[in-house]
Amino acid sequence: MNNQKEQILQVASQLFYEQGYKKTYLDQIAEICEITKPLISYYYKSKSSLARAVSDTFLFDLKNNVAFKLYTDYFKGRKVDLQVSTAVEIWLYNQMFLTDPKAMRFLKELADDKYEDLFSQDSIRLYKIHDRRYHLDIRDDIDELAMIANAARGAGFSVLWAYDRGEFKCSQEDCLDYITRLNFVLMHIDSKRIDAIVKESKQALSQVHFEFKPYFQIE
């Protein structure tokens, strides 16, 4: 990524977090970056696509941080369990929104403006990786992997938002468990295996320290 594009992304991340998505304008970002507004549009076609790039960057960093920390501090030379690692990622990603009002505000406001830019266009890659590793019982003739990716992200967001509105009589842990399990249910994983995945992912979370920081960071 070139320096100019990276600067736009960094400034946008800070403003989206501090001010919210709605109160952040491309003119503000351009002024701080000392560039013209059309130049932002050259790199990112709209404010919502810029917001999606912010989310994609956060997710990329989260995946790398989780993979590295679990490899060094939890698996410690053992073969990495991709399903457990993915469960940890899902848990942390959703926990951030439930524990950080500024992050949740960004998520809600982006959804209100342009729902289709709420999720990464590359989210299907996760499920393709799991299919290659575990040979999931997935139908190729109807592009079921793409359906699973869309169902998981849409359902997960709906549960997250409803919990934040106080619609469920459950703990935050119960909500996060449900969202995590949902992804593996959609992948047609056996229920006993899902129980084992969730149990070990929570064991990993209890042993490996992750810290939530401003500007959509989990380290």
Q: What is the DSSP string of 97-159?
A: HHH-HHHHHHHHHHHHH-GGGSS-TTTHHHHHHHHHHH-----TTTTHHHHHHHHHHHHHHHH
User: 200 and 146 in one domain?
Assistant: yes
Where do we find the tokens 């119960």? 174
Query: Considering the domain boundaries, does residue 197 fall inside one?
Result: yes
Distance in angstroms (rounded) separating the CA atoms of residues 52 and 55: 5
For residue 132, which of 201, 83, 73 has the smallest C-alpha distance?
Answer: 83
3-state secondary structure of 17: helix
**In this structure, is residue 32 part of a structural domain?**
yes
Same domain, 15 and 67: no
The pLDDT assigned to 27 comes to 96
64 plus 33 within the same structural domain: no
Instruction: Say yes or no: 117 and 172 in one domain.
Output: yes
From residue 139, alpha-carbon distances to 81, 145, 148 in Å are 24, 8, 11
Both 20 and 80 in a single domain? no
Q: Are residues 118 and 31 in the same domain?
A: no
Q: Which has the closest alpha carbon to 33: 60, 62, 64, 12?
A: 12
Dist CA 129 CA 51 (whole Å): 25
Q: What is the CATH number of the domain that holds 16?
A: 1.10.10.60
- Do 183 and 155 have their domain in common? yes
C-beta separation of 181 from 67 below 8 A? no
Q: Number of folded domains in the chain?
A: 2
- Domain for residue 50, yes or no? no
The pLDDT of residue 1 is 57
Instruction: Report H helices in the chain.
Output: 3-19, 26-33, 37-43, 47-69, 82-99, 101-113, 124-134, 144-164, 172-186, 191-207
% of the chain at pLDDT higher than 90 = 87
Tell me, yes or no, whether 39 and 59 share the same domain. Answer: no
Residue-wise pLDDT tens digits, 28-87: 999 999 999 999 999 999 999 999 999 999 999 999 999 999 999 999 989 999 999 999
Domain for residue 218, yes or no? Answer: no
pLDDT at 62: 93
Same domain, 5 and 97: no
Question: 3 is in which domain, residue-wise?
Answer: 1-44
Domain annotation covers residue 166:
yes
Q: Say yes or no: 39 and 72 in one domain.
A: no
Q: Are residues 89 and 190 in the same domain?
A: yes
**Choice between 177 and 125, residue whose per-residue pLDDT is larger:** 177
- Residue 151 inside a domain? The answer is yes
pLDDT at 92 over 80: yes
Residue 49 belongs to some domain of the structure: no
68 and 150, same domain (yes or no): yes
Q: How far apart are CA 16 and CA 216, in angstroms?
A: 10
Residue 173 within any structural domain of the chain: yes
